[in-house]
């Protein structure tokens, strides 16, 4: 049998969830049964994740909240971003601004940009091929990839999309027994200005 949760504990949890933008309850009123159910579901389901732990434990300022379409939300969730409803939580690691424009998350710090592409995971090779034909990178701009919610590859960096397309097409994981196709499906493209990534 599960432990009974006190009214004070529900209020405390609701306050943290509200601060992080996961619920919009009037905390001056008594919580309804449905509201308590949602609080339990969010608390128990999301508390295990490190990122949700950051959000829920009064560190909502470590994230930038953006509302996105259902299609983008599904892609962003698969790329490792925490989501709730139509809200995505983007880690704000000291960036001056974070915007979502088209199929890109644009992070700016001291005038330098990092662009994270929002692409369905199984289409990364198609997107790289399209970018190879359609886009020339400005001077001092580089591209790489990352897998899931890990940081970008820092030793594998290119100054054009053609070279990155060739690399990803021929890439094989170093871990014995790793599923190449699954890892490629978790990759996302990162474009950044010189000095934006240490």
pLDDT digits (tens, 9 = 90+) for 24-62: 888 888 999 888 888 887 776 555 455 555 565 546 667
Question: 63-111: per-residue pLDDT in tens?
Answer: 888 889 988 888 887 777 777 778 888 888 778 899 999 889 999 988 8
What is the model's pLDDT at position 165?
93
Return the number of other C-beta atoms located less than 10 Å from residue 89's C-beta.
23
Return the CATH architecture of domain 97-193: 2-Layer Sandwich (3.30)
Domain residue spans in the chain? 1-58, 97-193
Contact 52, 46 (CB under 8 A): yes
- The whole-angstrom separation of Cα 115 and Cα 110 is 14
**Per-residue pLDDT, 1:** 46
**Its pTM surpasses 0.75:** no
Q: Tokens for 121?
A: 């995971």
Residue 49: its pLDDT value, please? 55
Helices (H), the chain: 7-19, 33-46, 50-56, 70-78, 124-134, 161-170, 180-185
Q: DSSP letters of 144-163?
A: EEEETTSPPPSSS-BSSHHH
């Amino acid at each position: 049998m599960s432990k009974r949760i006190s009214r004070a504990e529900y209020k405390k949890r609701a306050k943290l969830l509200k601060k992080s933008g996961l619920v919009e309850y009037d905390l001056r009123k008594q919580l309804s049964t449905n509201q308590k159910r949602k609080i339990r579901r969010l608390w128990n389901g999301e508390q295990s994740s490190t990122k949700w732990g950051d959000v829920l434990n009064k560190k909502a300022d470590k994230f930038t909240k953006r509302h996105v379409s259902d299609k983008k939300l599904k892609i962003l969730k698969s790329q490792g971003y925490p989501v709730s409803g139509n809200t995505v939580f983007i880690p704000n690691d000291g960036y001056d601004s974070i915007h979502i424009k088209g199929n890109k998350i644009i992070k700016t710090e001291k005038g330098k940009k990092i662009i994270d592409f929002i692409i369905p995971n199984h289409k990364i090779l198609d997107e790289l091929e399209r970018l190879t034909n359609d886009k020339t990178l400005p001077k001092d701009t580089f591209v790489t990839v990352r897998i899931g919610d890990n940081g970008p590859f820092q030793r594998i960096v290119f100054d054009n999309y053609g070279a990155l397309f060739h690399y990803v097409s021929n890439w094989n994981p170093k871990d014995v027994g790793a599923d190449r196709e699954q890892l490629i499906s978790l990759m996302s493209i990162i474009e950044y200005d010189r000095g934006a990534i240490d």
